[in-house]
Structure 1
Amino acid sequence: MASRRSCNYSLSRLLSTGAAGTEYVEEYPNNLETDDLKSRIFRLRLPKRSATTVIEKWVGEGNQVSISDLRQISKDLRKSQRFKHALEISEWMVSHEQYKLSDSDYAIRIDLMTKVFGIDAAERYFEELPQSAKTSETYTALLHSYAAAKFVDKAEELFERIKGSDLSFSALMYNELMTLYMSVGQVEKVSYVVEELKRHKVEPDIFTYNLWISSCAAALNIDQVNRILDEMKCDSGCNDDWVRYINLINIYVTASRLANAESSSPVETEKGITQSEWITYDFLVMLYAGLGNKDKIDQIWKSLRMTKQKMTSRNYICILSSYLILGHSKDVGEVIDQWKQSTTTDFDISAFSRILSAFSDVGLTEKANDLNLLLIQRNCSPTNE
């Protein structure tokens, strides 16, 4: 167990700052049904207060605490972005030898250390782990930290170590590196990662395909997008969610080609953003719709509206389609109003006809009807051209 304890590299000292027992000043409720360990920890309002002190007091009162309880509380804390307290729970688990840590526990610990102390601390912790704890999960956790910080060199160096190991990795690890390349604009490297994934006979998941397709869209390689879609259809993991995702991308491909047929010249702006870059943004909006990530769609749309770029009917149709797919009718109505009020592009009723047809063609008839109703309410039905 000595090697296990050596991994902490004075974490107890780091975590003990302001952790005196007197800091837990909240009153316990009289109703014993609400007085459990999770409730006590969540009543710690300030990060400097110590979850470790609360656990020690709980145990000192004769209560039992299982590792599954600690894992669940830690999970709930992470969801609430209370990373310091979650890390203190992890520290408690490490310091008590009756708890047997899993690969996931170590991986979560690396992620928490990154968030609380920074990547350098997480990196040192990983290197000091016993070899038995350097698993596919801990490697992937460190790679995730590098990817989130956009440390390309460190991520690539770690990837080479991973390739040289005898460990088996899931698609998640490859997705992390692909995400990094997409975030720093090195889209040409994504296909290399896909090649490595296939060479190691790892099954791609829908996120793998999402990133791969995004990289092809960034290069405007629509033919390759179609080849990837064909591969997805033949994948043994293909399910209803994948089919819905494929249909969404087919809508994009159809819409983008129609838009290109109408206007082949790049949009001139002060910042020099080209038509191809706009297509990439549109495509990513559709992909996030397929993944149900409205927050990302909101971010992209807000960023695009803040530029001085000229909007096209394709831009509006893309965002309308995405919100419609996710069932956010209020946002759809707001975008329609923005389009009607826009001074930089014509309000294109015919574009609505195309998107209504596209939705109907892939079986999204109810969504098409919802859009048609919204258009009628705003006196801009496609039938009123």
Structure 2
Amino acid sequence: MLAIRRASVRIRFQPLPSVTVRACDARFDTTTSSYMGDIGFGGPPPPTLLVRSFSFGSQSFLIGGIHSFSSLAGSESDKEPIKEADMSESENELGLLDTEEEIVENKGGQRKGLSGLFKVVVDSSSAPPNIKNALDKWVEGHDLSRSEISHTMFELRRRKMYGKALQLSEWLESQESIEISERDYASRVDLIAKVRGTQKAEAYIEKIPESFKGEIVYRTLLANCVLNNDVKKSEKVFNKMKDLNLPVTAFACNQLLLLYKRTDKKKIADVLLLMEKEDVKPSLFTYRLLIETKGMSHDIIGMEQVLETMKAEGLEPDSRLQSVLARQYVYAGMNEKARAVLNEMEGSNLSENRGVYSSLLQIYALLGSVDDVKRVWEACETNPRLEECMNAIEAFGKLKNVAEAEAVFDLMSKKWNRLSAKYYTSMLKVYANNKMLLKGKEIVKQMSDSGCRLGPLTWDALVKLYIESGEIEKADSILNKASQQLSMKPLFSTYMLILDEYAKKGDVHNAEKIFYKMRQVGYVSRYRQYDSLLQAYINAKAPLYGFRERLKADNVFPSKTLAERLAQVDAFKKTAVSDLLD
């Protein structure tokens, strides 16, 4: 086993940073060699990665060799949408909050009931003076205990009420009677990043006392940079942590893996080598990311090899990892293998394994198995949970069984008097996928009448509803309103829905407009956006100038497919001779 030591590994930035790996010392090399020489960028090819396998402890990690991760960039799987559950490890894993069990224990074993502090925060106006005044008044007659604060923060975050959670955090920091810990500062960094952006969060870190600027503060900032797919800032924060001699943890490395899984799969190998050099043991989350990456790249053999290596290290797959495996088998058309994993998830008695119901509903729907979806739903129908209802609605919707989805929604509406927007959105998505515009409008009206605040997921479903109904201009108008009204920016996938639709129509002007808007709101240009924009020019049979330079400026490395499309667009360009002949 390698000794734990402070590596001299850095990810540096140059105008076109292209990270390559030299096996002799496992360091990140920042030579700006190009991977795009075949389409005119020039430059020498990248050095061959000599390492074929490496070990964590006594086990060979990726069996076939980590170099296989260097060949994944630009694959067709880049077009798959990013799932919300995949965006980051949970706030509990970040270490910002007490767990629900810890909160219950601190409350003397009492689980039910919301705290008085929570009710004050939620009921007060969002205007800063109002919430401050309400808290000042409440604290005069109540004991502000740690358990009360933890419970309130837990509930606000669970409901994604980050704006109010931030105001509470600011108020707490102003109270001299409250002792602020490093975890409190990290929580504040996280909330600022979510509400006001990572730049403001970075500025706040400068104000934190030096004794509290530990690993948890910086890893929180790192996780939010990754959440925004901001490669440069993520790498900058990671290097800052190394400069400060903070420990290189599995969490920080997992964040980089998560980032590169979505933006530049070639760099996954670099992170794995760094983990080996720093003697960082991969966690279950690490393996889940690698398994999903292999599956998305259609490398099922490699995916299964990673799984076997994980088991050899003494780790057994949990239900989330099993869910990833089953999905990838379905996507690969290996339905028998998918069913084998699903049988393991169900166990000998489905009723005793309630934690997997939601995943089973989703994956059986992917398999197109109506009977299995109905069977799992019947297992929880007598006493369903909200998440199970939502997943049942989406599962029946995927199976084009709108009536069953509506029945589940009606049951949910009667059982819970006041539903949040995301549960209405599950039904809205069913109507959107089935091109039922009138019913979609009705559910939106119900949301409005019930006082729901529309968030990014709802706007996404609305945009899809109008696109599926052939009303691209209306969808574009809705997205424009969403970008003005939301305290959080619309989803990446929402912009891509419209960009893809304009691309299909060969509407270059509007495609460029959406592409520019994505940059404005902070979605850094990457392969997926450029691929769609290029398709707009191809469908319009319009010449495209300076596209290679744009790719180069954004550090986007085109795949073979994208290179072929570029050549196709080049064919549309007029020459001096063609102008004379016209």
TM-score w.r.t. the length of structure 1 is 0.56
Point out which structure has higher relative CO (alpha carbons under 8 A, 6+ apart).
2
* Alignment match, 1:203: 281
Matched, 1:140 2:237: no
* CA-atom RMSD in angstroms: 4.1
Q: Of residues 77, 89, 96 in structure 1, which corresponds to 2:168? A: 89
**Percent sequence identity over aligned pairs:** 23
Q: What secondary structure, in the 3-state scheme, does the structure 2 residue paired with 1:216 have?
A: helix
CA distance in 2, matches of 1:120, 1:93: 22
* Alignment match, 1:225: 303
Matched, 1:107 2:166: no
Q: Could you give the per-residue CA deviations for residues 106-146 of structure 1, whole angstroms, max 9, x where no partner exists? A: 22111111122222210101233233222121111101121
Q: Could you give the per-residue CA deviations for residues 69-123 of structure 1, whole angstroms, max 9, x where no partner exists? A: 1232122122222222211221222223332223321221111111222222101
CA distance in 2, matches of 1:72, 1:236: 35
Q: Give the AA of the match of 1:176.
A: Q
Structure 2 unaligned residues grouped into runs of 5+: 1-112, 347-354, 378-390, 402-582
* Alignment match, 1:38: 118
Q: Is the 8 A contact 2:319 2:356 kept in 1?
A: no
Q: Is the 8 A contact 2:365 2:396 kept in 1?
A: no
Q: Could you give the per-residue CA deviations for residues 22-78 of structure 1, whole angstroms, max 9, x where no partner exists? A: xxxxxxxxxxx9993322222125455633222211223x32212331232122122
Q: What secondary structure, in the 3-state scheme, does the structure 2 residue paired with 1:101 have?
A: coil
Q: Is the 8 A contact 1:171 1:203 kept in 2?
A: yes
* Alignment match, 1:29: none
* Alignment match, 2:29: none
CA distance in 2, matches of 1:108, 1:220: 38
Return the structure number with greater helix share.
1
Q: Give the AA of the match of 1:89.
A: L
* Alignment match, 2:152: 73
Q: Give the AA of the match of 2:134.
A: V
* Alignment match, 2:204: 125
**Relative to 1, partners in 2 of residues 1:34 and 1:182: Cα closer, same or farther, differing over 3 Å?**
closer
Q: Give the AA of the match of 1:93.
A: L
Q: What secondary structure, in the 3-state scheme, does the structure 2 residue paired with 1:40 have?
A: helix
How big is the shift at 1:230? Answer: 0.9
* Alignment match, 1:155: 234
* Alignment match, 1:192: 270
Q: Give the AA of the match of 1:223.
A: I
* Alignment match, 1:168: 247
CA distance in 1, matches of 2:303, 2:162: 39
Q: Could you give the per-residue CA deviations for residues 159-187 of structure 1, whole angstroms, max 9, x where no partner exists? A: 12223443235422222222222233x12
Q: What secondary structure, in the 3-state scheme, does the structure 2 residue paired with 1:128 have?
A: coil
**Relative to 1, partners in 2 of residues 1:238 and 1:47: Cα closer, same or farther, differing over 3 Å?**
farther
Q: Is the 8 A contact 2:288 2:324 kept in 1?
A: no
Q: Is the 8 A contact 1:187 1:218 kept in 2?
A: no
Q: Once structures 1 and 2 are overlaid, which stretch shifts more, 87-96 or 250-259?
A: 250-259
CA distance in 2, matches of 1:248, 1:179: 20
CA distance in 1, matches of 2:128, 2:159: 16
Q: Give the AA of the match of 2:306.
A: I
TM-score w.r.t. the length of structure 2 is 0.38
**Relative to 1, partners in 2 of residues 1:337 and 1:57: Cα closer, same or farther, differing over 3 Å?**
closer
